[in-house]
Structure 1
Amino acid sequence: MSHLTRLPTQPPAPVAALVALLREVPPSCGPVRLVAVDGHAGSGKTTFAGRLAVALGGAPVLHLDALASHDAFFDWTGRLTEAVLSPLSHGRSARYRVYDWARGEFPADPAAESVLDPEPVVVVEGVGAGRRALRPYLACLLWMDMSPAQAWRRGRKRDGPELTEFWRAWTRAERTHFAEDPSSSYANFVVRQGVQGYEVRRGPEGHR
């Protein structure tokens, strides 16, 4: 059973209505309302999370790509818990090092740490943002409504042929991840990008 806050039942809502709801839900990680944006790679999570953050008045966004690595696409839960969730849950700023995907390493210099303050709302986006280990800390889980095949086509087109091998490895890992730890069935809201903007509908958890 999900520990997410159950948001009120309502008709399809635009982003503005979603923002109003997010500002009213109780904090979920210390003083922070942690809002996750999950979905398949290439489904538009980063773009939507950025627009949602702006609509929330400049909420900070944590990109899970910062904590993953080539060696462990999804083995970042411990790093996230220690560096981010634990300090935020105590009202302290989180500090973490951002993985350099070009160099294939985390920076050694402590001065390279990124800082995430315990703002009223913090958005965390990335594949697996709604995973089982994170759900107890979430105020709301949003799922990007796009099939894996369509999302992966978009991602490959975005990244170009030079990352073909990376995408082969990634899609295998993503299939395994969602088979073992699905998160779409726990979403409070499902987000679909349309021609005229985003449509936000109740997700499976929003019906309960």
Structure 2
Amino acid sequence: MDWLHNNDKELLLIGVDGCGGAGKSTWAEYMLSITQKGAVVHMDDFYFPSRQRVYPPDIGGHFDWKRMLEQVLEPLSQNRAACYQCYDWDNDELAEWHDVSPSGVVVIEGCYAARNELRPYYDYTVWVDCPRGLRLQRGLKRDGEDALSFWLDWMKQEDRYQDNQQPRSKVDWIIDGTEKIKTK
């Protein structure tokens, strides 16, 4: 990942996309650990509260990509600090606010991070690739067997996104999410 170090920009914006359970969060944290300056912003923080969701969901499930754009990507791309409100999954509401400095490496990580409307704001985009069966296995290990119907619906929404926007074919790099990350 020489490209993380071989640039002279004060701020490097990276979008890390892929399907649920592919290893996006792991790769985002790894990128941040080797640069040692910046932040990871999770798309999971941009979920719509249930009262704002529409059915059937738009391409991109129930993620509020417009809020991501307005609160994070637009300010950072203008070298201004970002301030965004997180979705609280336990209470199904928007909760605390987080600040992100316009310096170092800022990784936007999560499903739908490289959707067409967001991709122009990134310096680099990454797709973390992983077979469906392994992703489901990882998801159920993390969330429990009771989450099977949730995961099957989630995967159906991801399929719609991939069919509609073809994000994997539009990113700068494809990373194998089945491999264990080698740290320094």
* TM-score, reference length from structure 2: 0.84
What are the equivalent positions in structure 2 for 1:73-84 lying under 5 Å apart?
Answer: 73-84=61-72
Corresponding residue of 2:156: 172
Identical positions, percent: 30
Give the 3 Å change call, closer, same or farther, for CA 184–26 of structure 1 in structure 2.
farther
Q: What CA deviation, in whole Å up to 9, does each residue of 1:75-105 have, x standing for no partner?
A: 4221011111121122211111110111111
Q: Indicate if the aligned counterparts of 2:46 and 2:64 stay in contact, CA closer than 8 A.
A: yes
Corresponding residue of 1:205: none
C-alpha distance in 1 between matches for 2:176 and 2:20: 15
Q: Indicate if the aligned counterparts of 1:132 and 1:181 stay in contact, CA closer than 8 A.
A: yes
Corresponding residue of 2:114: 130
C-alpha distance in 2 between matches for 1:26 and 1:150: 38
User: Aligned Cα RMSD in Å?
Assistant: 2.1
Q: Does 1:57 align with 2:45?
A: no
C-alpha distance in 2 between matches for 1:151 and 1:193: 9
Point out 4+ residue stretches in structure 1 off by more than 4 angstroms.
Answer: 193-196
What are the equivalent positions in structure 2 for 1:53-132 lying under 5 Å apart?
Answer: 53-69=32-48, 71=53, 73-107=61-95, 112-132=96-116
Query: Which structure 2 residue ranges, 5 or more long, are not aligned?
Result: none
Give the 3 Å change call, closer, same or farther, for CA 80–183 of structure 1 in structure 2.
same
Find 1:47's aligned residue among 26, 41, 51: 26
> Quick one: which amino acid aligns to residue 97 of structure 1?
Q
C-alpha distance in 1 between matches for 2:102 and 2:141: 36
Give the 3 Å change call, closer, same or farther, for CA 62–104 of structure 1 in structure 2.
same
Q: Going by fraction, where is strand more abundant, 1 or 2? A: 2
Query: Which structure 1 residue ranges, 5 or more long, are not aligned?
Result: 1-17, 199-208
Paired residues, what number?
173
* TM-score, reference length from structure 1: 0.75
